[in-house]
Amino acid sequence: REGTVLVTGGAGYIGSHAVLALLDAGWKVVVVDNLVTGFDWAVDPRATLVVANIADDDKVRAAIRDHGVIAIMHFAGSVVVPESVSDPLKYYRNNTAASRSLIESAVAEGVKHFIFSSTAATYGIPEVVPVREDSPKQPINPYGMSKLMTEIMLKDVAAAHPINYAALRYFNVAGADPQGRSGQSTAGATHLIKIAAEAATGKRGHVSVFGTDFDTPDGTGVRDYIHVSDLAAAHVDALDLLIAKPTENHTMNAGYGRGFSVLQVLDAVDRVTNLTIERKLEGRRAGDPDALVADNSAILAALPWRPKHDDLEGIVKDALAWERKLAERQG
C-alpha cells in the first residue's frame, strides 16, 4: 500500500482502533489530534502523532505534505448528544466548521480520498427499522445535525473537486481491540456497554435502565451494537474501494442489522462476569428512540467487509478486559 493515511481523532476511541487496523493492513499513518478527549498513549507508536486542531490549516496542510497523505479518515469531533443540546455552537464548531476546514485543506493539498465518521443520529427517530441509508434524515439533536451538515459538504465538494468520499453512519459502537491494544478510555462515559463494564469492575455501583415502556419486546431500548474493531476494519475496506473506484462515493450504515435490548445487554454482562449487576429501572432519557437497527445491505454489497466480532458476549468480554486494564493503569 502506497502513501500515508491521515487519521484525525486517532488518539480517541474509534480513531485509535482505525489506526491499528490501517497499520496492520500495511498503511503508513499520521494522526492529527488535539488530545482534548484523546490520549497520546492511545496512538500506536508505529504512527506519527501531530498534536494540532484539525482546523489549524497550516499544521494540517504541512502534515499532508510532509507525509505524502493520499487519504484522510476523519474521526475527530465532539460526540456527547445531551451536551450538543445545551451547547450547540460547540458542535457546529468542532464538528461542522472544523470539518469544513479539514476538507478545504484536503482539497487544497490534492488529497484524493476522504472517509468520514457519520452517525445513525442523522436519522433522528426512524419511521422504519431496520433503517436504510435513503430514509429521511431528521436529526433530533445538534450532534446529528452537525454530522449531517458535514455529509452534505462532502457530497458537494466531491462533485466539484477530484476527491471521493465514504460516509459511514455508525450505530452503537462498543468493545475494544481483542488484542488489548486500545479501548474506550474517556472518562464520563454515557454508553451502555462502557457503563456496564465500569459497574462490573467496581467503578460504579449500579446501571440505570433508562425507560421500560418502549415499543420493544421487553420494553427497553433496542440498539445495533457493533464491535469497534469490525468498524475499524470497515474503514480500511472503504478506503480500498475509494482507491479502486475514484468516481464513486458511498454513504453506508455501519451496523450488524440486529438489535439487543438494554436488558439483553445487561444479561450478557452478568453471564460473562458471573455477577448480578444492580439495575435501577428509571425513566426515559430525552430523545431516545425505541429501536435503532441498521439495514446493512449497502455496506455488505459495496465492501468485502464481513462482521468478525458480532457476538454480544464477545463484545462485552473485550470491553471488560479493557476496563480492567484501565483500572490497573489508574491504580
Q: Which residues bind ligand UFG (CB under 6 A)?
A: 79, 81, 119-121, 143, 172, 190-192, 195, 207-211, 221, 223, 262, 285, 288, 292
* Distance, CA of 270 to CA of 203 (rounded, Å): 16
Smallest distance from the beta carbon of 279 to ligand UFG, in angstroms?
A: 9
Q: Which is nearer to ligand UFG, 46 or 285 (CB)?
A: 285
CA dihedral (41, 112, 307, 265) positive or negative: positive
In the complex with ligand UFG, the residue whose CB is nearer, 51 or 286, is 286
Query: Using an 8 Å Cβ cutoff, are 146 and 96 in contact?
Result: yes
- Tell me whether strands 222-223 and 260-261 are parallel, antiparallel or unpaired: antiparallel
What's the CA gap between 25 and 276, in Å, rounded?
40
Q: How far is the CB of 11 from ligand UFG (least distance, A)?
A: 18
**Spatial separation of the C-alpha atoms in residues 203 and 209, rounded to whole Å:** 17
For residues 261 and 217, the answer to whether their CB atoms sit within 8 Å is yes
SS3 11: coil
Report the nearest approach of ligand UFG to the CB of residue 151 (Å). Answer: 14
Amino acid at site 144 = G
Catalytic pick from 13, 91, 143, 170?
A: 143
C-alpha distances out from residue 178 to 76, 175, 204, 229, 309, Å? 23, 8, 24, 8, 9
Residue 102: CB atoms within 10 Å: 26
Judged by beta carbon, residue 50 or residue 192, the one nearer ligand UFG is: 192
Overall size of the chain counted in residues: 331
Sheet order of strands, 222-223 included? 260-261, 222-223, 291-292
Task: Decide: 263 and 218 in contact? Cβ < 8 Å.
Answer: yes
Cβ nearer to ligand UFG, comparing 191 with 250: 191
Min CB(209)–ligand UFG separation in Å: 5
The C-alpha cell that represents 293 in the structure block: 437497527
Angle subtended by helix axes 192-200 and 312-329, to nearest 10: 60
What are the grid coordinates assigned to 165, written together? 468520499
Q: How far is the CB of 119 from ligand UFG (least distance, A)?
A: 5
Cα-based distances in Å from 264 to 57, 211, 223, 243, 314: 46, 14, 10, 40, 14
- Tell the smallest beta-carbon distance from residue 118 to ligand UFG (Å): 10
Active-site annotation holds for 143:
yes
In the bound state, the residue with its beta carbon closest to ligand UFG is 221
Residue closer to ligand UFG by CB (options 109, 290) is: 290
Nearer residue to ligand UFG within complex by CB, 24 or 288: 288
Q: Report the catalytic residues.
A: 143
